[in-house]
Structure 1
Amino acid sequence: MKRIAALILLASLSARALAFEPFIVSDIRIDGLSRISAGTVLNYLPVNKGDRLTNDAAQRAIRALYQTKFFSDVEIDREGDIMVIKVVERPSIAKLTLRGNKDIKEDDLRKGLKEIGLSEGETFDRLSLDRVQQELIRQYYNRGKYNVSVDPHVTNLDRNRVAIDIEIREGKVAKIKEINIVGNKAFTDKEIRKDFESDTSNWMSWYSKDDQYSREKLSGDLEKLQSYYMDRGYADFGVDSTQVTIAPDKRAMYIAASVKEGEIYTVSDIHLLGELVLPEDTLRQLVFQKKDQTFNRKAIEASSDAIKGILASIGYAFAKVTPVPKLDKDKRTVDLTFFIEPGKRVYVRRVVFQGNTRTEDDVMRRQMRQLEGSWFSQPAIDRSKIRMQQLGYFKKVDIDKKLVPGTEDQVDLTVKVEEQSAGSLMFGVGYSQYSGIILSASVSQNNFLGTGDSFSVAAQRSDYTTSISANYFNPYLTDNGVGIGYNVGYTKSNYGDTNYNFVNYESSTKSFSTFLSLPITDFDNVRVGMGLSSNKINLTYQTQDLSTGQIVTQPLSPQVLIDYQNAIGHKTIHSWTGTLGWTHDTRNGYWAPTRGGMISLTSDIALPGSTVQYYKLFGEANHYWPIGAGFVLYLDGQVGYGKTYGQKYDFDGGTTYTKGQSVDFPFWENYYAGGVRDVRGFQDNTLGPRLCVGTDSNGRPIQPDSKGQCNNSVYTYAQPVGGAFKVLGTAQVFLPLPFLKDVNTARVSWFVDVGNVYKDYSSFKASDLRASTGLSLQWQAPIGPLIINFAVPIRSKEEDRHYEERIQFTFGSQF
């Protein structure tokens, strides 16, 4: 009705314009403007000074000004040779208020309103407000809220302004009371509905929301129903009708679907037609639906995708593969034809990067395996995307292809990225049950000035350690990907302040190392390094005997460690080490992979000339598998081994060592197990061998009892000392939780950990392995990484009781 009224008004004005004779416009005057400038009006006006104004020209001018939506009334008049335009401005929107919306976020609502011109500062149009009202109702209907009401209120203000208040009463979501499938005989309702997103109310509906009706969910469920039957041979299955009934109170929904099952079909023959490009035998290997098998739509679709995939790998970027089934209803067979249209073979003309406001194009280009000027290859593009995701600089990476206008054999690739913070300037406070309060200050950048180089300078203080470190890595010292890195650090520790979950001694370590990173293949990397370190270790402390006044040396650490230090004859350990490592990485992401895995082998050797000559070997293998419905399975295994070589010690006075024996593995290089990142459910570093401080009356080291306690010792519980051999296995399932939409930021998993540390390889016993299970939350919080575990030991011994922990957490910057 409002549009008709506007047309009647326009017709009356046009008729009014016919009253004057055509004339030459000497000047133009505009009456009625308050907010809009005369220049703005003249820009839209199709009449200028010196033009001859006719009735047709006047009508065009009126239509042009109406189309600006600035005015509710426009008149054209004449005073002599002056063209007079009289306008009534539409009011401006001074204030826009939204009330009652909970299901749709206000930011999303305001963004949608702005797109149709309904926002503060814009010109008010009643028709736009009506469209908004209807669109909001439609959106709530799609969410199953059929008793929603949207009431806009417009209040006139001074200076030709209005205030708009949109009041939304969302109401309750309509709940599904019944779902009836009629006509199914081959399968039960339970079988065909097990993958439905829609369901009637049940004990899990508060969490899954499956009893809330949605048109989109129902459409998807009917598609799943059709797939269920067609994947099992019912090639002529169909949904005859669907009926959705809503109760009068709009709170209950009743769904009924009538189906026609049809018969089970087998595939009588398979043909490949069209322009095959590749040998037919090669293409037939990619057809998963076989002759004489039961018809299976999933296998047919997978076959089409596989053929398109192999064609895309050799340049046919826009290949089409159309399966055409021909049903013989009498014989219940299907004659299946794959019609192949490869299209033109194309090459990539140009690769363009968008969204990288910090990262240089060259940093991204060197990750590309699809090169400009070469044939299009989908596997190369997919690999390029994964390589960029592995950098950790980008929250999101998409690669789009588009034909070059005017050509049929050229495409341009557009790499669109959404950058995320790759560096930080942090002054923080963290907490760990192992380290206590952590004070830290750091400057780190994994993408320094957008070059891809990384560096960090950090200082940290906790209950037991103070450390300063600096690190730098250039991943592309050469164009072929050889990288170089440097590390320097100083650490002073007093492990006696760790609540007995670490062997008690004091150390002061200075270190420097450098390494080269050598790419072998796209997935394999070798690292070669050298390092120097000086480690001053103190295992005793001095005190004054008050009765004699003499200075007495008392043990801080178990006697075995003191004897070992005496054996090597040095309190300051000097080492120069060589490192050789290999990594094979196929993961599809940096922070939160969902498929692929990593295998790494590392060897560190203290070279001849070091105070103690030893080597350490460490291997780890893990893999991620998506197992459907958002679940991801993760398996990880680790083995660590250490041993000394080529040295004998010369020590006669100890109680534990004999002259001429090989030097044992240095205790300061031991592996440890247990903790928030290891075998969860046990305190950090507490698994494995434990020793008591002091000796008995015979001068022999005190041994812990079955409860892990030390008799006749100032330390009640034995101290964990780690070992030269470590075994660890983890099985983890990452859970798709609706309140954790961004898995790159937070993930929740159920885990089972198995592992332990042994004095050496010969001490390994499977019966000594510890195990735990529980839930873990990992969150990349603004303050730094946060890990919270709820773990329950499921395999432990009496001596472990003192070290078990159900709740473990750590947060803040860790280096």
Structure 2
Amino acid sequence: VVDDYNGKVGDIAVIVLIVEGPQWFVSKLTVTGIQQLDATGILPTLSSSEGQPFSEFNVASDRDAILAYYYTNGFPNASFEWSSNPGPKPNQVDLQFTISEGHRQFVRDVLVEGLQTTRPGVVARNVLLAPGDPLSPIRMTDTQRRLYELGIFAQVDMAIQNPDGATQRKYVVYDMEEAKKYIFDGGLGAEFARIGGCQTCLDVPGGAAGFSPRVSFDVTHLNFLGLGHTISLRTRASTLERRGILTYLAPRFRNHDNLDLSFTALYDDMRDVNTFSSKREEGSVQLSQKLSKPSTMLYRFSYRRVSTSNLKIDPNLVPLLSQPVRVGILSSNYIQDRRDDPIDPRKGIYNTVDVGLASKVFGSQVSFGRGLARNATYHKIGKKLLLARQFTFGDIIPFNYGSRTTDPLAAIPFPERFFSGGGSSHRGFPENQAGPRDLTTGFPIGGTALLFNSTELRMPLLGDNIGGVLFHDAGNVYSSFDKISFRVRQRNLQDFDYMVHAVGFGIRYRTPIGPVRLDLAYSINPPHFFGCKGNISDLIKCGDPANAGSRTNQSISHFQFFFSIGQSF
């Protein structure tokens, strides 16, 4: 140990000197004592085989593997000993593994106690032991884990009846305590950003500073009808949205550990886009498949009815875009999550790919294909800095729309288009203000393609709980895929298909529920556009060339701010 290392008072250096010495190898491995089991089931997997490097760590691994093999096959009293002798050549050893098998035990029966409302079949499907099977402590523990994972038991105790008795066949007992059936949750929150603006006014298409309080209430019924299924109702209300979601979840569908089936009914009344208010009634069925620990596939069919109101667009477009639309869409979603912490990641990768098809075959009134992909990575730079980046790309392709309109963009209903911008996508825009705008009123009308890239340099500022972020956001929502451009200059007041850049600084305060963040952004090249004076009843005047005086030149503000909980990505 060196004090004041490199002349810095208080620093110490720990220097470890390693003398390797010669490397030892296994010249011969002899295993004795295997009588009742097939030796070929374990010997090929051992690390200490002939010709391999010798280490006590490998011997310990082999011991664990051999005993696990015996425990799984009903030998709970199996034991392992090892010894070594010098080999025929220098730096070689002869290994001797000696196994004492003990008496083999079997399951006489599995007894389940403590069930009140749970149907016995729910437990039986998750028990990995049956009468006549070898008595395996490993399978007993795996069964206990599976029962806990159902989420309907507060406690699962397991035991072997008369474990020290001489009989070979034992009763395995599981004693369950069922969890509470009902869970109630509630919460209060708020959003503070450029989300405001009069609901019927035309003067502020870019939004205004606003405060949106919200309240949520959830109720969950576990073990519905004793089936091990869950039914839940989640509600949320704010000045921007009223939402209710009813979900029925059947885990381990058809007794497959990696499959979950769910049914969802949704009602949503929202105006998070200043251009319109929307109401959505939706029903969906989804099958979730766990491919591996980080990877999941979702297969989903949704059928929804969406209607819009309070449209602040060219009055000639109102009759077309205000009609209620039914959409039936079949989609799938791939999720890969290798982050160390989903709330505040420090390393890892996160990928999602979502593709869907809406067609008249599924009862849809509009036909289109939709894709949305996202990639985010997190890289440590030294001990204190973190580089985080996210790339998002999406595209919507309409087809068979000739009977409704000749405009591909108009063929996609407002609620099905891409609306983006804001604290979690592009901080150079207020919430959902990126992309094409109505040429008459200046309100955003969404697009069928989007491209965003965000980069953050995260660093500590004060202690362990307060950090800072330098960020750069680039991208936009585009009217169509072929209009995607990396141009940084807006050609005219009708051009919105260019790339907007923003830079800024943020503060993060770490809390038990995630970081609280405040972001201040400066948009380098925000869009300019025509606006309109008055309220929604004056739309017809805005579209009349004789009332040119009612139109104004407007732009998205250079400065944006966002306050919320959680990292931006």
Q: Fold match, TM over 0.5?
A: yes
TM-score, with length taken from structure 2: 0.59
CA contact (8 A) 1:680 1:789 kept: no
Partner residue, 1:250: none
The structure whose residues are more often strand, as a share, is 2
Q: Quick check: 751-760 or 506-515, which moved more?
A: 751-760
Partner residue, 2:203: none
CA contact (8 A) 1:726 1:758 kept: yes
1:47-92 Cα deviation digits (max 9, x unpaired): xxxxxxxxxxxxxxxxxxxxxxxxxxxxxxxxxxxxxxxxxxxxxx
SS across alignment from 1:406: coil
Partner residue, 1:607: 360
How is 1:14-413 mapped onto 2 (pairs within 5 angstroms)? 264-276=22-34, 283-289=42-48, 291-292=50-51, 294-316=53-75, 319-326=78-85, 331-351=90-110, 362-371=121-130, 373-375=132-134, 384=143, 387-388=146-147, 390-392=149-151, 404-407=163-166, 409-410=168-169
Distance 1:579 1:283, change over 3 A: same
- Which of 687, 690, 694 lines up with 2:435 in the alignment? 690
Cα distance in 2, alignment partners of residues 377 and 607 from structure 1: 55
- Which of 474, 486, 504 lines up with 2:274 in the alignment? 504
Partner residue, 2:271: 494
Partner residue, 1:440: 216
Distance 1:808 1:406, change over 3 A: same
Give the Å deviation of 1:521. 9.4
Give the Å deviation of 1:538. 3.6
1:333-382 Cα deviation digits (max 9, x unpaired): 33333334444554444556689898666544433444554345677667
Q: Percent identity?
A: 15
SS across alignment from 2:42: helix
- Counterpart of 1:366, as a letter, is R
SS across alignment from 2:239: coil
Cα distance in 1, alignment partners of residues 49 and 470 from structure 2: 40
Cα distance in 1, alignment partners of residues 124 and 427 from structure 2: 45
Q: Does 1:644 align with 2:398?
A: yes
SS across alignment from 1:572: coil
Cα distance in 1, alignment partners of residues 450 and 437 from structure 2: 21
Distance 1:538 1:793, change over 3 A: closer
Give the Å deviation of 1:462. 0.9
- Counterpart of 1:575, as a letter, is R
Partner residue, 2:283: 513
Distance 1:490 1:330, change over 3 A: closer
The structure whose residues are more often helix, as a share, is 1
Partner residue, 1:533: 305
Cα distance in 2, alignment partners of residues 396 and 726 from structure 1: 49
Distance 1:644 1:694, change over 3 A: closer
- Counterpart of 2:306, as a letter, is S
Specify which structure has the bigger relative contact order, considering alpha-carbon pairs within 8 angstroms and separated by 6 or more residues.
2
CA contact (8 A) 1:392 1:591 kept: no
Partner residue, 1:456: 232
Give the Å deviation of 1:492. 2.0
Cα distance in 2, alignment partners of residues 297 and 794 from structure 1: 58
Distance 1:269 1:685, change over 3 A: farther
Give the Å deviation of 1:271. 0.9
How is 1:532-551 mapped onto 2 (pairs within 5 angstroms)? 532-540=304-312
CA contact (8 A) 1:647 1:662 kept: no
CA contact (8 A) 2:428 2:521 kept: no
SS across alignment from 1:643: strand
- Which of 328, 338, 342 lines up with 1:577 in the alignment? 328
TM-score, with length taken from structure 1: 0.44
Q: Does 1:668 align with 2:415?
A: yes
Q: Does 1:424 align with 2:183?
A: yes
Partner residue, 2:247: 471
Structure 1: runs of 5 or more not aligned: 1-177, 181-189, 191-200, 205-224, 234-262, 496-502, 541-554, 625-633, 652-658, 696-712, 734-738, 741-747
1:690-717 Cα deviation digits (max 9, x unpaired): 344544xxxxxxxxxxxxxxxxx888xx
CA contact (8 A) 1:283 1:307 kept: yes
Distance 1:330 1:442, change over 3 A: closer
Give the Å deviation of 1:464. 0.9
CA contact (8 A) 2:233 2:246 kept: yes
CA contact (8 A) 1:367 1:384 kept: yes
Distance 1:650 1:359, change over 3 A: closer
SS across alignment from 2:514: strand
CA contact (8 A) 1:635 1:730 kept: yes
- Counterpart of 1:430, as a letter, is G
- Counterpart of 1:267, as a letter, is F
Q: Quick check: 266-275 or 640-649, which moved more?
A: 640-649
1:276-299 Cα deviation digits (max 9, x unpaired): 466656534422345555533333
Partner residue, 2:199: none
CA contact (8 A) 1:265 1:334 kept: no
Distance 1:509 1:515, change over 3 A: same
Give the Å deviation of 1:273. 0.9
1:300-358 Cα deviation digits (max 9, x unpaired): 32233334444555555554444433357993433333334444554444556689898
Distance 1:534 1:415, change over 3 A: same
Cα distance in 2, alignment partners of residues 303 and 753 from structure 1: 52
1:230-254 Cα deviation digits (max 9, x unpaired): xx97xxxxxxxxxxxxxxxxxxxxx
Give the Å deviation of 1:437. 1.1
Cα distance in 2, alignment partners of residues 339 and 683 from structure 1: 71
